[in-house]
């Protein structure tokens, strides 16, 4: 990412790294030939605690800190962080950490579906949870609409179950331990508000940009009606502010204060209109739904009205109305 692309104006000496200093002039040198696997074998011991940083995860996974895998793993690790940290903090009543299965909708998906194989890492991190990911969005390939396939482990590799119409294979370095773990994948190539099906346990969107696409004005009200925990990432705090405004216009609700995502991509993005730092999945927030109509009025009559209490206000009200009438009439006559 430090090497200028074709057609880039030449800079003065010393302003950019020389090609000879970067991989001997070949930026793709490390990607060629039969080099070591990008992902080492899964450690035999489960993690002792929850990961809250790239350093903790890299150390356990056997990755060196200069490994570029964080660029791809930011997506599954962000989902992991939402499940293990953010949902328990914001929605403790769901008791999500004790659930044995989770259905997650990945909304407005695009390139995330192109990287679907890296989501296998979720089962490495959450081995005791049966996961189903449903990718939803009108940017998904139409030929993949309504597809349902399974990522499964075959020895040291992860493959797609035959008959799904998808052919892929990934060397994950996993070790067979006597039980097969599967990751269910579903695809719906349509806007989220047109999706039909059972209610998910969790909704996640990456680099959402509510104000950049009109379909959010219909999808956000759909989420409001479902009232499921919904978390979204943005590349900057400015994007989070715009998302909050769009949520208010679309539903009357809001968003939680954004917080930095410890599993954001470490590679900086170039902002189009300012020099502020932008990173893929940099900040994360959840939707705050507008209270449903009548939700505040129902608890009122719950205890059962005592006899004297409801009778007193109407009497005083009649008296006040009776006293006000002459006053209004007197003012008119004056």
pLDDT given for residue 319 in this prediction: 44
pTM flag (> 0.95) = no
pLDDT confidence of residue 155? 56
Query: What is the predicted pLDDT for the residue at 46?
Result: 80
Give the pLDDT of residue 18. Answer: 41
pLDDT digits (tens, 9 = 90+) for 142-172: 998 998 988 876 555 666 764 343 434 444 4
Closest C-alpha to 116, from 81, 141, 85, 84? 141
Write b or e for each residue in 292-306: b if 16 or more Cβ atoms lie within 10 A of its Cβ, otherwise e: eeeeeeeeeeeeeee
What pLDDT score was predicted for residue 208?
A: 93
User: Of 113, 111, 131, which Cα lies nearest the Cα of 121?
Assistant: 131
Q: Residue 21, Cα to own-chain centre: how many angstroms? A: 38
Domains of the chain listed by start with CATH number: 61-164+179-288 (3.40.50)
* DSSP labels, 278-316: EETT-EEEEEEPPPPTTTTTTTTTTT---SHHHHHHHHH
**Residue 290 structure tokens:** 């507008």
Please work out, in degrees rounded to the nearest 5, the angle formed at the alpha carbon of residue 170 by the alpha carbons of 168 and 176. Answer: 120
Backbone angles phi and psi of 93, in degrees to 5: -65, -20
Q: Encoding tokens for residue 27?
A: 């930026």
Helix (H/G/I), strand (E/B), else coil: 198 = coil
**Chain Cα centroid distance, residue 161:** 26
Q: State residue 273's pLDDT score.
A: 74
Query: Please, is 78 exposed, middle or buried when counting C-beta atoms within 10 Å of its C-beta (0-12, 13-18, 19+)?
Result: buried
Look at residue 19 in the predicted model and tell me its pLDDT: 38
How high is the mean pLDDT in each 10-residue block of the chain (334 residues)?
Answer: 45 43 46 65 86 95 90 96 97 91 95 90 91 94 90 65 44 40 90 93 96 93 96 94 96 96 92 81 97 56 40 43 45 44
Residues 6+ away with beta carbon under 8 Å from 277: 236, 268, 271
Residue 23: its pLDDT value, please? 43
Q: What is the pLDDT of residue 158?
A: 63
pLDDT given at position 60? 94
Assigned token pair, 53: 């940083």
Q: Is 196 helix (H, G, I), strand (E, B) or coil?
A: coil
Residue-level pLDDT at 217: 95
């Amino acid at each position: 990412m430090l090497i200028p692309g074709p057609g880039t104006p030449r800079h003065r000496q010393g302003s950019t790294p020389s090609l000879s200093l970067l991989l001997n002039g070949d930026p793709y040198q490390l990607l060629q030939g039969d080099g070591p696997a990008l992902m080492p074998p899964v450690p035999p011991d489960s993690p002792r605690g929850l990961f809250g940083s790239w350093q903790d995860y890299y150390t356990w996974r056997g990755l060196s800190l200069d490994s570029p895998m964080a660029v791809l793993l930011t997506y599954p690790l962000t989902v992991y962080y939402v499940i293990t940290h953010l949902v328990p903090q914001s929605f403790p009543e769901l008791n999500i950490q004790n659930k044995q299965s989770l259905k997650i909708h990945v909304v407005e998906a695009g390139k995330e579906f192109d990287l679907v194989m890296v989501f296998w890492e979720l089962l490495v991190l959450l081995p005791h949870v049966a996961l189903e990911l449903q990718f939803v969005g009108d940017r998904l390939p139409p030929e993949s609409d309504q597809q349902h396939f399974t990522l499964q482990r075959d020895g040291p590799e992860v493959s797609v179950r035959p008959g799904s119409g998808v052919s892929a294979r990934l060397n994950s370095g996993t070790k067979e331990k006597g039980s097969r773990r599967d990751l269910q994948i579903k695809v719906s190539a349509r806007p989220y508000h047109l999706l039909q099906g059972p209610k998910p346990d969790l909704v996640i969107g990456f680099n959402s940009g509510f104000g950049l696409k009109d379909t959010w004005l219909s999808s956000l009200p759909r989420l409001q009606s479902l009232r499921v925990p919904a978390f979204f990432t943005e590349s900057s705090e400015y994007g989070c502010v715009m998302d909050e405004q769009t949520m208010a216009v679309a539903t009357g609700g809001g968003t939680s204060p954004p917080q930095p995502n410890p599993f954001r991509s470490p590679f900086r993005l170039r902002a189009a209109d300012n020099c502020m730092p932008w990173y893929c999945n940099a900040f994360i927030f959840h939707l705050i739904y507008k209270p449903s109509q009548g939700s505040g009025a129902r608890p009122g009559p719950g205890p059962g009205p005592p006899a004297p209490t409801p009778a007193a206000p109407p009497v005083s009200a009649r008296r006040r109305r009776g006293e006000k009438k002459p006053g209004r009439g007197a003012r008119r006559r004056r």
